[in-house]
Structure 1
Amino acid sequence: MRARQLGDRTAYIFLDENGRETDVLTYRELDRWAGEIANMLAARFDRGDRVLLLYGAGLDYVAAFFGCLYAGVVAVPLFEPTRNRAEHIDAIAQDCDAAVVLTTHDLARRSNSLGTQYAFAQLPWVATDALRGLGDPAEIPASTPVDGTTIAYLQYTSGSTATPKGVVIDHAMSLHQSADMGHCWQVEPGDTIVSWLPHFHDFGQVTGILLPIHAGCGAVLMAPSTFVKNPVRWLEAVSTYRGTHSGAPNFALDLCVDKTTPQQRAALDLSSWRALSNGAEPVRKASLDRFQAAFGPSGLSPSTLTPGYGLAEATLKVTCADVRSRRLAVRFDRSALGLGRAEPTAACDGVDLVGLGVTALSTQIAIVDPASTDRLPTGRVGEIWVSGPAVSAGYWRRREETERTFGARVVGEAATSWLRTGDLGFVYAGEMFVCGRVKNLMIVNGVNYYLEDIESTLADGHDALRAGGVLAFGIDSGGREDLVLVAEGRPGDGIEPDQLAIVMRDLVAERHGIVAVAVVLIAPGTIPRTTSGKLRRQQCRNDFQAGRLSEIHRWEGVTTMTKPTADNNAPDSSGPPSLADLVRLGLIARVQTWLMARFGAEAPTLDSSRSLIEHGLGSVDQIDLHEYLETWVGQRFSPEILWESTTVDEMVHAIADALSASTTRM
C-alpha cells in the first residue's frame, strides 16, 4: 500500500561511518526488492518457516525483513555471522528450527570460515543482494495473505540471567506497536527518523524499521559502530536531514557529551528534533540533564528528551512521556522506597527518579505485590505488570516459561492475563516510575536495598566511575546476604585503585547504611552486558565467585590484593625485518600507545599472545582502537579482524595481510 501511495519518495537512507549516503531506497524500490525475495522464499520454503536474517547494518536487512513478511515466513532478526557470535547464532537456529539463512553475498562467502560444527552453517544460504532490481515488477506476485495472528518475527532476547528466548511477535502486535509509537511520538508523514540502534534489538527494529513504513515517513540509518566511533555523526545526521525522532539509551547520551567538542556542537542545528526517547532501565536524570545542557545551545528543545519504558515481551513500548512538555523528575525519600513507599522529599540524600510517562491505545499497567499478587495503590512500590494488544502470547516453544511470565493474574481480577516484567516501580503524579528489579534487591534486617540505587550513588559520587559501568550484587555468606561492588574505572582521574575502592565503600556506607564486603575494580569495557547493552548482574556475580573477572584491584575487608600484569611477548626480531615485519612491529607499538592514552596508569601491559578481550577491551574500546589504527595506517580494513582474532599477534598479522592485499590490488 505504501509503495502505491508514496512511490518514488525516499523510504530509507543509509550512511557510512563518514556520514555519506551509501544506499537509498524509495518505497517503490523497497517493494520491488522485497517482492523478489518473497518470490524466492515462496518458491523454495513453506509458509511459517523460520528464516535467519544474518546481516550487518544496512538496507539489505530492511528488504529481507519485509520480504519475509510478504512471503508469510517468520523472520528471525540477527546480526552478521562472525566467529565470536557463531555459538549464539547456532543456539537460536536450533531453538527456532530455522529453514534458511538470508544474508549478503559477501557475508555468505565469509561464512565458509565458520566451520562445519555449527548447524546454521549447514542450512541453505541465500544472498538477497543478488535479487535487487531483478525481474519485471509486474511479474512479482502479491504478498501471501496473512491475518493478525500470523507470526511476523521472533525477537530473541537474552535477558540478564537466561539463555536467549524468542518472543513471538505477530502482525497485529507489530501494527499496534507502530500505531502506539506513532501516536505518542506524534509522527507525521513528512517526518524523518534517525537511528543507529541495531536492527536485531527491539528498539531498533520497531523505531528504525517498522515505524517509518507504518507512518509513511523517511528514515536515516547508520551502523551502531559508526555512532560509537564518532557520536557526532548521529547528531550531524539529525541536523542535516532535519531529523524529528530518535531513540537512545543513557550511555549514548553520555557518549555524545563526552566525545563532541564545543566547535562540533556549535555547527549543529537540532531544532527539528521533536522526540528523543530514552528507554534505558532505569532512566538517569543526570544523563538527561547533561545532554540537555550540552546541546540546548544547538537548538535542542527541553521537551525533546522523552523518557519511556518498554521491553521485547511487549513488542517494545509500554509507556512514554509526553513529547509536548518537559519531562517529570522527582526526588524520593530513600528510606521510604526501601519500605515500599514513594514519598517525595527535598532532602539532599534523596533518590532522583524520572517519570516514564503513561500508556496509550489500550495498553494497561498494574503495580502488583510480587509475592501476594495483590494490586497496589498509587504511591506503593511493586512489580510492574503489563496487558494490552502489543503484549506477546509468549516465548517460542517454551510453554512453562510462557505461562510463568505471560499468564499472571491479579488477585480478584482473573479475567485478564498479565505480563510480569520483573521490574519494580510505582505510579506518582499520573506517571510510571521504575526503581529497580524484583531480583535486584537485597534485604538486610527487613529493609530493601535497591541495587540500582546503590549503583547510582557510586556513578554520581566520583568522576572515576561512570553510569553503566558499575554493578552491585549480594552474595550468600553463611545464611547472610553481603554486598559486593564491581566497577569499571574511568582512566586519567588521578586516583589510585586502592583509594578508589575505599571511596566506593565509604560512599555506599554513608548513603545507604550498608558496608560492602568486597570492592572490585575491573578493566574498562569488561563488565558483563547483553547484546542490547543491559548489565548482566547474575553473570557478574557468577564471574566474581569463579574468579573470572578482569580484575585490576580488589579490596576485601582490610586486605588489599592487586592482580599482576602479564609479561609482554615481543615479536621475534632475529634477522633483518621484512616490510611486513615492520608493519606488524609498528602496529604493536601503536596498540601500546593507544592503551596508554586511553587508560593511563591503569593501562594493561600489552601481551601479544592474549586477545583484546583478555586485555580488558570491550566492544566500544575495540571500535575506538580500530578507528585509531585505520587512521595511523591510512587505509581501511575490516573491524572483524579485531573482533575475531584470538591474540594480538594474530590481529596484527591479519591487519598487515589485509593492507598488503589492498596495496597489491591498487
Structure 2
Amino acid sequence: MAVPGNFTELALCRIHERPDATAYQFVRAGREGVLEADPLSYGELGRRALRLAAWLQERGCHGQRVLILHSDGEQFVTSFLGCLFAGAVAVPAPPPGGARQNVERVAAIVRDAAVSYLMTDSDNASAVSQLLATTGHADVVCLATDRATPSAPDDWREPGLFPDDVAYLQYTSGSVSEPKGVMVTHRNMLANQEAVRQAMRTGPDSVVGGWLPFHHDMGLAGHLLHPLWLGGRGVLMSPVGFVRRPVNWLRMIDEYGITTGGGPNLGYDLCVRRVTDEQLAGLDLARWETAVNGAEPVRAETLDAFAERFAPAGFRRSAFYPCYGLAEATLLVCGGVPGVTARERTVDAGELEHHGLRGPRPGRPTRRLVSCGIPRGCEVRIVDPESHAQLPDGRVGEVWVRGDSVGHGYWNRPLENGQAFRAVTADGSGGFLRTGDLGALDGGELFVTGRLKDLMIVAGRNLYPQDIERSVQRVSALFGSSAAFSVESDRDHVVVVQEVRTGRDFETELASLAAAVQSRVAEEFEVAAENVLLVRPGTVRRTTSGKLQRGAMRQMFLAGQIRPLHEVVAPEVRRLVAGGTDARPAGRGAGER
C-alpha cells in the first residue's frame, strides 16, 4: 500500500482490504462471570463510520470540534472514525456517569474546545443534555448515535485532509494542572503509530488489547488505534470491568490470545493484591509477549512481585515492556526491546537528590530505577530546567523531546505553546517539547525519576514524593494509596495523606499509625513529617487511568476539603489551610502540564 497522507486514508485502506476480518472484540463479563465478546468487523466499522461522517458533513462539521462521550466501545470507535472521515476534530472525553470529577472535566472541555456537536449514547444522553443545559451550552447539538438515523455511506465525500490538519484533541489527565487539549495532527498519528510498531515489533498477526479508557492517550492511540494501523485485531474491556475484577483482564489476555498490551503500574499492583490462588490456577499467560508498563512511574518492586506471582501461569519477566510517553507526544517517546529484560539501576538516594546517578554506597539509602528504553522516532535531551543547558549522561534534568510525534501545541493557548512546545536550548537548538518530567540518560536509555512540578524542596533537599509514599505504605498492612506533597509558609512543610482501613479501636490505632508515619519519614528521609492525614479508602484522587493527582490533593488540603479520620497538623500549616493558600511563589515549578 502507498504511504498514506493522513490517518483517514490508512483506516479506509484497512477497511477495504479486510472487510470480513474482525477489527475489534469488546469483552465483558456475562452470566456466572464467563467472558463474552461483541465482535466488530472492519467492513461493518467502515459502514457505520461513513454513515456518521456523511451526517456530520451535511451539517458543515469540517474543522469543527465534536465531543465524544461514549461508555460503549463499539460506539466510541464508530464516532471517532466518523469524525476523522468527516474532517471534523474528534474530542474524546469521559462520560459524566454521575461522578462529580468527570462532570467538572467534561464541562471544562466543552468550554475550552468550543464544541459544536456532541456524540453520546442513549444511556448517557439524559445526563449529558442536563450537563449542557446547566453549564450554559444548550446550543451544542447532542446526538445519541445508537438511536440516530444517519445518512447513507454513499453520501460521504472525501474531506481533503492534509498531514498537518488536526485530527483530534487529546485532553491531558490534569494530574498536575487543569486539562489542556493537545492538538494531535494526522502527521503526529502516522509518525507515532509507526514508532510504536517498530519499537514493539507488532504486525498484522498481533493481538492488541487492554482496559484503559479511550479518552486516555494509551487507551486511544495504543489499544484502540494501533490494531487499526496494523490491520490486526483489538481486544478491549472497560475500565470498570477491570477494577471490579482485575483477574478478568488476565483472563481476557489468556482467552483471546492478546500478544501486546498493558497499562499503568497500578494495574499490575492490583492484580498482585487481588488475584486469588484459585483464579491464578486457571490462567495461561504464555502468549503475552509484550506487557506494556507505562502512563505512570514504573516501579521495580511491582515488576518483581507480578513476575513472581504469575510465573506459574507462564508469565515471563522478560515480557515486561517499561516505556515512557505522554499525550503531548501523541503516545510513545521511549521504549525498550521486546523480549529483553529492561535494565535497572540501583542508585544512591542522596546523590539523586543532587540530580546525579551514582552507584550505591554502603550503609546509605538507595533507589531502584527502571529503564524506559531508547528514543523511538524522536530525539530526547536532558536539559537544565533553569539554564536550558543540555546535561551529560548521568545527570538528572528535564526531559525535552523533538520529532514528528510531538503535537502542535495546546488548543487555544498560544502563549503557553511558545514555552512548552517550542523550547530552545542554551546552544540555540529549538523546537523542543518541555515534558515537565525529570530523568537522566544512561547509555542512551532514559531513566525517569519524577515530575518537576512534584519535586519537594525541604530543608534545602530535593525529595521525590513517590519515594516518601512508597516508604509510608510499608508502615502498615492497613495502608492503601497515599499522596505526599509540600506546602510553604516561611518554609516548606511535608504533608502526607494516607488511606487506611480502620478497625474497632480505631482512635487509639490511628494515633499510633500517624506517629509511625512520622517516625518512618524522619528516619528514612531525615525531614520532619509534621503533617499526617489518615483518610478513608477512596479519598486519594487519581485519574481514570490510575495516575496519582498530587496537585489536586494539595489543592484540596489547602482548601480544607479533606475529611480525615485522624490528623496531625503543625500550627503554621493549619493557618495556611484556614487561609486556603500558601506562600509558594507563582513561578515555582516550571514545566507543568
TM-score, normalised to structure 2, is 0.89
Match of 2:48 in 1: 33
**Which of 455, 459, 482 is residue 493 of structure 2 equivalent to?**
482
3-state SS, counterpart of residue 488 of structure 2: strand
Structure 2 CA distance for partners of 1:492 and 1:188, relative to 1, 3 Å = farther
3-state SS, counterpart of residue 317 of structure 2: coil
Structure 2 CA distance for partners of 1:413 and 1:179, relative to 1, 3 Å = same
Cα deviation per residue 1:358-388 (whole Å; 9 max; x = unaligned)?
1122x11111111111000000011111111
Matches within 5 A, 1:274-293: 274-293=289-308
Structure 2 CA distance for partners of 1:113 and 1:72, relative to 1, 3 Å = closer
2:402 corresponds to 1:391: no
Q: Distance in 2 between matches of 1:293 and 1:491?
A: 30
**Which of 16, 20, 41 is residue 28 of structure 2 equivalent to?**
16
Match of 1:185 in 2: 200
Match of 1:128 in 2: 145
Task: Using the TM superposition, name which of 397-406 and 109-118 deviates more.
Answer: 109-118
3-state SS, counterpart of residue 322 of structure 2: strand
2:168 corresponds to 1:153: yes
3-state SS, counterpart of residue 409 of structure 1: coil
Matched length: 553
Q: Distance in 2 between matches of 1:393 and 1:514?
A: 42
3-state SS, counterpart of residue 513 of structure 2: helix
Give % identity: 38
Q: Distance in 1 between matches of 2:64 and 2:215?
A: 19
Cα deviation per residue 1:284-332 (whole Å; 9 max; x = unaligned)?
1111111111111101122111111111111111111221201222211
- Give 5+ residue unaligned stretches, structure 1: 562-666
Q: What is the letter of the counterpart of residue 42 of structure 1? A: Q
Structure 2 CA distance for partners of 1:267 and 1:492, relative to 1, 3 Å = farther
Matches within 5 A, 1:1-400: 1-18=13-30, 20-83=35-98, 84=100, 85-109=102-126, 111-114=128-131, 116-130=133-147, 139-345=154-360, 347=362, 349-361=365-377, 363-400=378-415
3-state SS, counterpart of residue 547 of structure 1: coil
Match of 2:541 in 1: 528
2:494 corresponds to 1:470: no
- Give 5+ residue unaligned stretches, structure 2: 1-12, 575-593
Q: What is the CA distance between 1:516 and its match in structure 2?
A: 1.1
Q: What is the CA distance between 1:124 and its match in structure 2?
A: 1.4
3-state SS, counterpart of residue 79 of structure 2: helix
Match of 1:573 in 2: none
Q: Distance in 2 between matches of 1:75 and 1:187?
A: 26
Asked if the contact 2:222–2:331 (Cα under 8 Å) also holds between the matched residues in 1, the reply is no
Match of 2:553 in 1: 540
Structure 2 CA distance for partners of 1:494 and 1:216, relative to 1, 3 Å = farther
Matches within 5 A, 1:383-462: 383-414=398-429, 416-462=430-476
Q: What is the letter of the counterpart of residue 9 of structure 1? A: A
Q: Distance in 2 between matches of 1:94 and 1:113?
A: 15
Q: Distance in 2 between matches of 1:7 and 1:293?
A: 42
Asked if the contact 1:93–1:119 (Cα under 8 Å) also holds between the matched residues in 2, the reply is no
Q: Distance in 2 between matches of 1:557 and 1:135?
A: 64
Structure 2 CA distance for partners of 1:131 and 1:181, relative to 1, 3 Å = farther
Q: Distance in 2 between matches of 1:347 and 1:129?
A: 64
Q: What is the CA distance between 1:550 and its match in structure 2?
A: 2.2
Cα deviation per residue 1:544-567 (whole Å; 9 max; x = unaligned)?
2332112011124699x9xxxxxx
Structure 2 CA distance for partners of 1:55 and 1:136, relative to 1, 3 Å = closer
Asked if the contact 1:57–1:198 (Cα under 8 Å) also holds between the matched residues in 2, the reply is no
Cα deviation per residue 1:226-245 (whole Å; 9 max; x = unaligned)?
00000111111110111101
Structure 2 CA distance for partners of 1:17 and 1:118, relative to 1, 3 Å = farther
Q: Distance in 2 between matches of 1:493 and 1:180?
A: 54
Q: What is the letter of the counterpart of residue 488 of structure 1? A: E
Asked if the contact 2:212–2:218 (Cα under 8 Å) also holds between the matched residues in 1, the reply is yes
Asked if the contact 2:478–2:501 (Cα under 8 Å) also holds between the matched residues in 1, the reply is yes
Matches within 5 A, 1:553-572: 553-556=566-569
Q: Distance in 1 between matches of 2:168 and 2:44?
A: 22
Q: Distance in 2 between matches of 1:109 and 1:280?
A: 32
Asked if the contact 2:177–2:551 (Cα under 8 Å) also holds between the matched residues in 1, the reply is no
Q: Which has the higher contact order (CA 8 A, sep 6+)?
A: 2
Asked if the contact 1:188–1:217 (Cα under 8 Å) also holds between the matched residues in 2, the reply is yes
Task: Using the TM superposition, name which of 293-302 and 454-463 deviates more.
Answer: 454-463
Q: Distance in 1 between matches of 2:569 and 2:389?
A: 41
Matches within 5 A, 1:573-588: none
